[in-house]
Structure 1
């Protein structure tokens, strides 16, 4: 388990290194249902309790180097967490 607060205070993501996968849940998404926007990002400001921590938690995810990411909203990502996080950071908060 990886502590990835921001969307909620007690948020965790689940890392499965033997399978090369990470379940990020809502720590990062590829579809934002609040804005109907398809792109890597953190969940909208209105649904995130701590934007600063949500953005900081992206570093925890990226450090795994995982290729496959399962998300709470949006299609699974197979192009690596580093790229996913880079794109999400470029969007910032919404």
Structure 2
């Protein structure tokens, strides 16, 4: 993966910051939710009117590195702070979202609360 550039990133031409207390001024008006753990700057995006939550790598249903399936955090070898990643699940659960779309794997069925409960049971791998 490294030889193919998986760990390299290009420079960012410009960046904008935003207030997490406000909805983003983009189509759908999502609320950005900080989810530190996998990386320090991880964020999820909640679309309340659509009852949808995009978790990114804060919650996955297939760990691309271990092959484990089911709601979980990414394995500790590829997570900056696994304890913080587990703690971020609380913030995701607070959205109450019914549709959960993840960074890796199939959408979580049963809503965010059920997915978070399963991830907590799976723990740190």
TM-score (norm 2): 0.74
Q: Whose strand fraction is larger, Structure 1's or Structure 2's?
A: 1
Work out whether 1:49 is the aligned partner of 2:87: no
Residue deviations 1:6-54 (CA, integer Å, cap 9, x gap): 0000011000000000000100000011111111100000000011110
The unaligned stretches of length 5 or more in structure 2 are 1-31
Q: Whose helix fraction is larger, Structure 1's or Structure 2's?
A: 1
Work out whether 1:86 is the aligned partner of 2:124: no
Distance in 2, Cα, partners of 1:31 & 1:88: 11
Work out whether 1:32 is the aligned partner of 2:32: no
Q: What's the C-alpha RMSD, in Å, of the aligned pairs?
A: 0.6
Work out whether 1:64 is the aligned partner of 2:95: yes
Distance in 1, Cα, partners of 2:68 & 2:123: 14
TM-score (norm 1): 0.97
Aligned length: 94
Counterpart selection for 1:7 from 18, 38, 62: 38
Q: Which has the larger radius of gyration?
A: 2
Work out whether 1:19 is the aligned partner of 2:53: no
**Which of the pair has the greater relative contact order for Cα pairs under 8 Å at 6+ separation?**
1
